[in-house]
Amino acid sequence: MSHEPPLSGIRVLDIATFVAAPFCGTVLSDFGAEVIKIEQPGTGDPLRRFGTPSDCGDTYVWLSEARNKKSVTLDLRSERGAALFRELVRQSDVVLENFRPGTLEKWGLGFEALREINPKLVMLRISAYGQDGPLRDKPGFARIAHGFSGLAYLAGEAGRAPVMPGSTSLADYISGLWGALGVLLALRHAEATGHGQVVDIGLYESVFRLLDEMATVFAKTGFVRERLGADTVNVVPHSHYQTADGKWVALACSSDKMFERLAQAMRRPELATDPRYAAMAGRLARREEVNGMVADWIGSKPLETALAECERYDVPCGPIYSISDIFADPQYRARGNIAEVPSRAGPIAVPSAIPKMSRTPPQFKHAGVALGAHTDEVLTSLAGATAAALAALRSDGVI
């Protein structure tokens, strides 16, 4: 049974652009928060033009990631626009921003100024390097964060150039998730104490925090992890292998017990007792040899046979999917991971919101709306603007 959304009653002002901080708003909106996206009059968020254009003029990434949000146009750099924004802040709980540090302060809209209006205000600030430190003023995008965080250094084949680790927007999305966590923590604190706070995230920090033991091991031993292609630094065999029909699988064998099962699946049970391979240390010392044996075995079978053999012996193994494979997969269908929803460009498919919640599931209200679709509604209901005032503001380019 569906209940009241858990974030119902929370109002969020999203004045950010592109993906990082706005994705926090998307996550919050999926679970009931009222998210008002404030965009520059005439042009709007550059994300509207970033990616593949749809028939309605905005891109598909906009239609997907701006879902559930209201759109208001407001020039925050103008005196009247800033005044209207302050009135919205007075009646809101959260502000999301990702300008270069100091930009909002120049406009008189920094956190210290806004907290005078609303002491419980929570402000999420995502920037390339965070709000302090010697690099605070430098610009940056997710690709820069992937490099600065240490992630891109690990991506690619040994001895070859570093490559892009998956999506170019990965750090943006991860930062948005950390941002959502920080906002929820800050809201809980504000509810208990009456005091808001800043949630400060550098794009690179969001990725660096996820690099398992690298920092700890380097500090203790000086070990610098290098690129290993599809392999894993501390585990063998734990890689990608091509099947006889040209497909690829990911196989994870992270313990000696798993290797014993793999040896049985390969019909080579003696490998599990051979002192060269029985323990992980031995397999790591013979990485190329062990990978070669597994690659020969996987390569002798078509995909479905290789998967079935691994499943029979309880060896973790799965296909490496393209997006086409994903759309055809019954697990994705069973979990409802892809939703077909209406939009201004007709029906579109979007990744469904996660996590699944047994009592308060996420809700889809609408795809990304047209620029300024809710300007009159929001400024009338929350800022007391009259029809005449709206007409004047529009004429002067403030909205």
Closest CA to 373 of 39, 28, 10, 17: 39
| Catalytic option among 45, 172, 200, 231 | 172
Please answer whether residues 130 and 136 qualify as being in contact, where contact means their C-beta atoms are separated by less than 8 angstroms.
yes
Q: Which two tokens stand for residue 167?
A: 């999506």
Q: Which two tokens stand for residue 393?
A: 């503001």
Peptide bond into 162 cis (omega under 30): no
Active site residue 172: yes
Residue 241's Cβ-count burial label (10 Å; 0-12, 13-18, 19+) is buried
Residue 369: Cβ within 10 Å count: 20
Give the span between the Cα atoms of 217 and 223, in whole angstroms: 7
Amino acid at 101: P
Q: At what angle do helices 375-383 and 387-395 cross, to 10 degrees?
A: 130
Residue 119: Cβ within 10 Å count: 12
The number of residues making up the chain comes to 399
Give me the active site residues, please.
Answer: 172
